[in-house]
A and B are shown apart, each in its own frame.
Chain A
Amino acid sequence: MLFTSYAFVGFLALVLLAYYLVPGRFQWPLLLLASYAFYFAASPYYLLFILVTTASAWAVCVKMEDLTGAQKAYLADHKDLDREEKKAYREKIKKRKRAYLIAALALNLGILAVTKYTNFVLRSVSSLVGGAFQPVDLIVPMGISFYTFQTVGYVIDVYRGKQQAQRSFFKLALFVGFFPQLVQGPISRYGQLSETLYAPHKFQEKTFSFGLMRILWGYFKKVVLADRILTGVTALVQGGQYAGAYVFVAMLFYAFELYCDFTGGIDITIGIGEAMGIRMAENFDLPYFSKNIKEYWNRWHITMGTWFTDYIFYPLSASRPMLRLSKWSRAHLGQKMGKRVPVYLCSLAVWLATGIWHGAAWNFVAWGLANYVVIMVSQELEPLYERFHARTHLRGKAPYEVFQVVRTVLLMSMIRMFDCYRDVPLTIAMVGSMFTRFDAAIFTDGSLLAIGLDGADYLVLAVGLAVVLGVSLYKRKRGSVREALYAKPAGVYYGAMALLLVCTVVFGAYGVGYDASQFIYNQF
């Protein structure tokens, strides 16, 4: 059931209606039921996978918390133990908790690895040894990367004592399988989501309509813009015959498509939550206004970035081998460089993981590495930038900031071309052709009308882009557009919502003649 399918729209309407009709205490069980129905509709087999993940996380976390409780009780009952004995006891409990943690991580990350990466490994190995690749027919449960990461984060938080275990299996099942976020995130943290997920919510016009408006905004971006420009992107990148200036066009189109697709999907997700009074983590903060790549990654797919930072970068940095390496490198390479070596290594691990998380293909590994290289180089050049800014006094000047934003968007868009072409060598060749075979004539000779988009499509895209840009600029300068509209007379507020609905219905790229387009991030 795609978010953009009629079935989902009907399903959502029914869930929202039922949500406010049932007594508050039945709201979260209703959501669990709806979530499992949603997942079941995708495939009954998927349910098995999510149940295994939920059951393992629930059992392990309850056990770990029981061990913590038992430890406290034991130490309280045995105050006569000396320090060494207490330490030994704590160590023993810690070891047992760690064993549970490792078991849960191995099981869930193992399922993820086997379902998602088996064919990637086999393909890579067979191409190395020159054998014929025979893909294995495996079930890849929808949204497995998202719910696995979310669950793993929860288990680690319970292990670290940052989070109390959820002792209700069904409540945990809702956290893992909450249907709006199941297919493309955001990767929620238990502590944050659980605050509103299980609480009863009464119907409130403002909350509900805000959610509805955000859902409509998401559909507008996805159906009117992303799915319309998709035709052009597909024509330009498939087969790899469009080189030179066409690659530049494809790069900008894909940047636009991905933004509208992913942020549109997240708007629908968060909007559904809002309509039910449930707060989910924000995943975007105007990423295309970033002035450098580091800032961009702090604003794009935020929940994934923070997940990798909290559960890979920090634990890796604080691991014993890394501390030993840090000590060694400081002794042999000097304080300045010595400090950086572990950071470089941990960042490399994070970016490799980020790349492979996005897709089981070398393209994504190359994409991750390209991001890593650009971020590291820009960090290394930081002192140079500082001197440049100090001399030129450009920092803070509007034209320079615009230049920084455009540069960042172009750079990120170029790196993202690894997503588009079938392999790494072709990507490099096509991106290279942008610089060697750029023929600006395609912008004036009508060539861009022969890539599956006609004048009407360009008109819709231009107006749509202007609206998205306008909303983003307003948000950046003045804050929430919805709040501003809500402050106006109700007719204006609801009129804007109706306009969004009519525009989406009439100008959307959906129905017969259009391929039902999956959200790009659904595949992860």
Chain B
Amino acid sequence: MKKRRWLAVLLTAVCTVGVLYLAQRLLTPKYQKGIVEGSMVAEYYDETVEHDVVFIGDCEVYENFSPITLWEDYGISSYIRGSAQQLTWQSYYLLEDTLRYETPDVVVFNVLALKYDEPQSEAYNRMTIDGMRWSRSKVEDILASMTDEEHFIEYVFPLLRYHDRWSELNKTDVQHWFSKDPVTHAGYYMRVDVQPELGFPDPMPLADYTLGEKAMGYLQRMADLCREKGVALILIKAPTEYPHWYDEWDEQVAAFAEENGVPYINYIPLQDDIGLDMATDTYDGGLHLNNQGAEKMAAYFGAYLKENYDLPDRRGEPEYDAVWQEKIDAYEAMKRQQYDELAQYGELVSFGANAIEE
């Protein structure tokens, strides 16, 4: 084979890889508007200061706690590593991943996800895992999370998963081809709108109330990892009442906590103490708290943290002040934008993340 033909092969191969890479960047969902949860996990890597408290879990953490309030009220530098329907093993691997970058004093894990013992949804898997940086934790997370229809290689080359989005590409895909805007505030997902809680259906009796082996196994690994790293673990159940949290589950988590010497706090019966009014503090009928509720929850939880853990007040430390002021500005700006949207449209349109898409 002549040299020139080899050169042609090489050049074609390089160009093909380049084209496929560009196509992959373009076709992978950007999660910048509407469903923004897919952007959350990756945003952590842009953090420039360390965190004393890290929340790990599903929507019951990233929608129910405002790290801005924790900072403003207590000087606690915190971050929420959460994503939609984040399963227990995904939380474990995100914790492993977090501990590669920093060692917080406290890790808070919300226990709702313990009810799932099997992979649930490909879409949620992707939103949780795609944003993780490659590491052994990510590989193991993928292997533990894949549903039957998924393939490992589709995580390595997301183009194989998202190739068919070519027919639904829009302006956002082009705009954010190579860069993305932050959608959270230290992992917190803001919603300022209000939809009062009007009650929930009666809980269905279950055939078996035992929490699954896989989920509990990963909870144990989480406790062991925290112990090994000298991190205090706190188990919580967020104050929202739906999906129903059964007493039998509560007892099992309480027993686990006692066995492992970690605190477990179920905030459902503490709604009044927290000051939550589910007629005004939720945006979706009581499933999640809105911004007002999340601020109340953070204020209440911050007091508990301060009382029980020796957490430094970082206010006054120039590096932290600068970073958190930037976060506060973004937080307030988004809050204003969301209220403006509510006033203009009667509902949230862009969720304040970006300019309203025409």
Contact = CB atoms under 8 A, between A and B. Distances in A.
B8 A494 contact: yes
Contacts of B19: 498, 502
A22 to B, nearest CB: 20
A501 B13 CA distance: 11
Interface in A491-514: 491, 493-495, 497-498, 501-502, 505-514
A6 interface: yes
Contacts of B159: 505-506
Interface string B32-53: 0000000000000000000000
B9 A494 contact: yes
B273 interface: no
A432 to B, nearest CB: 37
B143 interface: no
Contact of B12 (A494, A511, A512): A494
Nearest to B23: A506
A494 B13 CA distance: 9
Given A494-B12, A511-B154, A512-B150, A505 B5 contact: no
Contact of B164 (A205, A490, A502, A509): A509
Contacts of B12: 491, 494-495, 497-498
B5 A490 contact: yes
A456 interface: yes
Size bracket of the A interface:
20 to 34
B20 A502 contact: yes
B27 to A, nearest CB: 8
B151 interface: yes
A491 B8 contact: yes
A66 interface: no
Contact of B160 (A494, A509, A511): A511
Interface string A506-524: 1111111110000000000
A454 interface: yes
A454 B168 CA distance: 12
Contacts of A334: none
A493 B9 CA distance: 9
B197 to A, nearest CB: 35
Given A6-B153, A205-B1, A512-B122, A505 B8 contact: no
Given A6-B153, A491-B8, A491-B11, A511 B16 contact: no
A512 B154 contact: yes
A101 to B, nearest CB: 47
B149 interface: yes
A498 B16 contact: yes
Contact of A513 (B4, B9, B164, B166): B164
A113 B60 CA distance: 60
A489 interface: yes
B161 A502 contact: no
Interface in B144-162: 149-151, 153-154, 159-161
B322 interface: no
B167 A506 contact: no
Contacts of A506: 23, 27, 159, 163, 166
Contact of A6 (B7, B122, B151): B151
Nearest to B159: A505
Contacts of B4: 490
B163 A508 contact: yes
A421 B164 CA distance: 30
B356 interface: no
Q: Which of A489, A497, A506, A508 has the most CB of B within 10 A?
A: A506
B147 to A, nearest CB: 9
B262 interface: no
A495 B23 CA distance: 17
Contact of A490 (B8, B23, B151): B8
Given A6-B153, A489-B8, A512 B16 contact: no
A42 B27 CA distance: 33
Contacts of A454: 167
Q: Which of A498, A507, A514 has the most CB of B within 10 A?
A: A498
Contacts of A512: 122, 149-150, 154, 161
Contacts of A456: 166-167
Contacts of A494: 8-9, 12
B15 interface: yes
A503 to B, nearest CB: 11
Nearest to B149: A512
Contacts of A490: 4-5, 7-9
Given A512-B122, A512-B149, A513-B164, A502 B8 contact: no
A505 B160 contact: yes
A205 B5 contact: yes
Contact of A511 (B23, B164, B166): B164
Given A456-B166, A495-B12, 11 more contacts: A205-B1, A489-B8, A491-B11, A494-B9, A502-B23, A506-B166, A509-B164, A511-B163, A512-B150, A512-B154, A514-B164
10 contacts: A490-B7, A494-B8, A502-B16, A506-B23, A506-B27, A507-B163, A509-B164, A511-B164, A512-B150, A512-B161
Which 8 A-B residue pairings sit nearest by Cβ, starting from the closest?
A490-B8, A456-B167, A494-B12, A498-B16, A205-B1, A490-B5, A491-B8, A506-B163
